[in-house]
Amino acid sequence: MITSFHPPARTLMGPGPSDVSPRVLAAMARPTIGHLDPAFIEMMDQIKQMLKTLFNTNNELTIPVSAPGSAGMEACFVNLVEPGDKVIVCQNGVFGGRMKENVQRFGGEAIMVQDAWGTPVDPEKVRAAFQAHPDAKILAFVHAETSTGVRSDAQQLCAIAKEFGALTIVDAVTSLGGIEVDVDGWGIDAIYSGTQKCLSCPPGISPVSFSAQAVARVKARTTAVPSWFLDKNLVMGYWGGSGKRAYHHTAPINSLYALHEALVMVNEEGIENVWARHEKHHAALRAGLEAMGITFLVDEASRLPQLNSVRIPDGVDDAAVRTALLQNYNLEIGAGLGDLAGKVWRIGLMGAACNQRNVMLCLDALENTLQGMNAPINLGMAAQAALATYR
């Protein structure tokens, strides 16, 4: 007989989902009301305003898509890419490849700019791509590549796109709420994120924002948006201004309660303090890992504080370590993806999971586990190195 499911209590320090704050979990348990209830619509407006603050934008079309980050990505591409459009796509990890797939599925031509995994997008390669394809309509790139933990210079890349009169589509799934994102200041035209990373919400919601130029491009399409559900012309009837809302879909009501609470918590802490907290605990984790003899994949200048890709020591069984951490410490860290599978671990410090307790737990658990496997590491040094940064 199948009975109620009671999940184990884990510490989530992988690439996402991250630990969810008890306040956010409690918000999800509040009474469900109708998706057109006046009280719910008032909360929707508050979510939009807080998302504008988080994205640093005045874009009217700033909303949460009722689906995970992958749907936020698709919402940007399906609305902005028409058959025959040339789109310059930057790939330096797994998720640039997903951008390419979106362009191709919607009939566009993907002009690829390739960089080594673990390195940022090279702006000069992007400029050269525009010079070779001046009719390209869009530049698409990942701000914070989840598969490697590298940050690209979004401001510089957007400036190059503007030089050539192109729109930009930016993946901020791992960056939003962990490092600076400045949609208006950098000139981003379409951006998408997810709730399960630095916002510490359950998965299933994707914040997006479209500039006025991007909205104009959508309205000027000569073909219909191929997706009914993600068509922004239709969705705005539900998420639009203060007038009467048109029914589009039944929103995930309790999940939006969670997002609202998470955004309230960001406001209470202050976004610059949130960024500083991620940097602070990353510094401690880095000190501890390096004292242990574990090295980072990404150069410090372009390294994400919220997602740390570290090289697996020689002779160590990747899966065995992650399994032992889960079984013995209820601690989850992430495996490498694609070309990096079996070569790196991805250790997340995102949102509510970004705290001193988790840093010290991770270092202690990892050192004990590796010691038990006779791995070539330095013993007894990691905790003191991390604590020294806190002092």
pLDDT digits (tens, 9 = 90+) for 283-342: 999 999 999 999 999 999 999 999 999 999 999 999 999 999 999 999 999 999 988 999
| pLDDT given for residue 76 in this prediction | 98
Domain 22-267 falls in which CATH fold? Aspartate Aminotransferase; domain 2 (3.40.640)
Q: Tens digit of pLDDT for each residue in 214-235?
A: 999 999 999 999 999 999 988 8
Hey, where are the domains in the chain? 22-267, 271-390
Class of domain 271-390: alpha beta
pLDDT averaged over every residue in the chain: 96
Tell me: the pLDDT tens digits for 83-128? 999 999 999 999 999 999 999 999 999 999 999 999 999 999 999 9
pTM listed for this prediction: 0.96
How far is Cα of residue 253 from the mean position of the Cα atoms in its chain?
22
The pLDDT value recorded for residue 242 is 58
